[in-house]
Amino acid sequence: MIKKLDILLIRSFVGPFIVTFFISLFVLMMQFFWLYMDEMIGKGLNIWIIIQLLVYMSTTLVPLALPLSILLSSIMTFGNMGENFELVAIKSSGISLLRFMRPLLLFIIFIAGLAFLFSNNVIPVANLKALSLLYDVRNSKPTLNIRPDQFNGDIQGYSIRVGSKDKEGNIIRDVIIYDHTDMLGNNKVVTAKEGQIIASADKRSLIFRLKDGWQYQEGYDRGMHDFTQTRAHFASYDKIFDLGLGFSRSNEELFKNADQMMNVSQLTETIDSLGKDTRRNYNNMGGYMAPYITFDNKAKEGTQLSKNIKQNTYKAAAYDSTFLKVIPDSLRPTVLQTVANNIRSFKSLVDANSLDKKLQGERFLKLAVELHRKFTLPFACILLFLIGAPLGAIIRRGGLGMPLVIAVVFFITFHILNITGEKLVKAGSAPPWLGMWMSTFILLPLAFWLINAARKDSQVLNRELYLAFFKRVAAMVGMTRYLSIDKAKNKN
């Protein structure tokens, strides 16, 4: 039966959990924003595109923010109760720490189940949306930024200078445009007294609507065998630059086969198909090699050659030294050329199959990493709670001071172990199950040890205990030094 104490514990946990989750998510989002800010500025992105990118990326960062918030909130919850002597009162009433942790553990298991569903169904879609949108943002061309009295070369093949422009940046004066698209120097020049910058309807072209100007062009007349120069005046002239300005979305179907865009069933199916393809390649390899290796294989030529050698049809000396002795001199160059071609073909075949095997192995490891990642997130939530709850009971400090420091230290350790295990798997140095669960295997014994220490009211993290210890050590060192100096004086 649910007791009032259980409800009290869950209420005490939910508040800090929600606050720390959104704070952690916000901090991680700021890290992403500052990392990619230079690639988003100056590309003419509207606020809706930026909001979409932030929402999708925040969804993909939940697997990092959720375990951190569980660790921090559990330390804060049990630390507050320990600081207010509520844990002492609960233990004195005959309720053990494990019984007190049970309702919250069940609540964390429920959150872990939701985390698995979120990781399996929501995060693949969010990854597809986020990474495709980020790809489009990173590959969109920057907007044109023309400053007065400075040459601008943002448009490939052109160098543009304006004398002045209005506050809105649309009306320009004293315009000079050098056209270098022919790769022949400044053979094409356009000047104008004033003009207007207009974007096309599809936002992919930029139009310079120039007024009262001149066009100059130099060239070579093959008929006259002489250089020519052409000058033409215009009252109005539209110079169009195809920039690909604006923002366009790519087809998301191009990204859906990536490892991060699959759920558990899709990953399992892909791994199974990859295994079948690998076995099929192994089976086909013998058939590919049979025409080149005729000795002792099941082909007709190989069987006959093996039979002849076993029956000593040819002289043994020929096989002891070289096969060329049984070949007529007139046919040796042809045979040697054929052998060299066969060896090159055989080497190319082996290299191609070796590369294919390597790529399939790398693909399998990436798929296995993503498959295990779907399950490591729920277990990470439970594991960090089993670490955070006894830690809070031991340190007996609430708030965001000491609990935050300890939570960050343990989470960084957990994250480093996760990254290290993943890199070991992708490098082929560890099997997927070992690398992806390495952090759990290492930290789970620590969690059990902390729970046992909290049950016994251990002073493992008592600051006063360590300060007293260091004071005793300092006093012993000082006393030893004093005795050595006194002994030296007595000798003198």
- Phi and psi at residue 369, to the nearest 5°: -60, -45
The mean of the pLDDT values for the chain is 77
Which helix H or strand E contains 159, and what residues bound it?
A: strand 158-165
Domain parsing of the chain, residue ranges? 158-242, 462-492
- Span 276-300, mean pLDDT? 66
| CB contact at 8 A, 177 and 163 | no
Determine the Cα–Cα distance for residues 236 and 24; give it in Å rounded to an integer: 58
- Tokens of residue 448, six digits: 């059990």
Q: For the segment 292-348, what is each residue's pLDDT rounded down to a tens digit?
A: 665 555 555 445 555 555 555 444 444 445 666 666 777 778 877 887 888 888 788
Top-confidence residue, 224 or 1: 224
3-state secondary structure of 175: strand
Alpha helix (H) residue ranges in 427-462: 432-436, 438-455
Of these ranges, 254-258, 292-296, 334-338, 400-404, the one predicted with the greatest mean pLDDT is 334-338
User: Which residues, at least 6 apart from 103, have a Cβ–Cβ distance to it below 8 Å?
Assistant: 2, 6, 9, 10
Of the chain, the end-to-end C-alpha distance in Å amounts to 80
Q: For the segment 462-476, what is each residue's pLDDT rounded down to a tens digit?
A: 566 656 666 777 777
- Span 6-10, mean pLDDT? 82
pLDDT value of position 50: 77
| CB contact at 8 A, 247 and 44 | yes
- Tokens of residue 93, six digits: 């009433």
Determine the Cα–Cα distance for residues 70 and 62; give it in Å rounded to an integer: 12
pLDDT value of position 125: 86
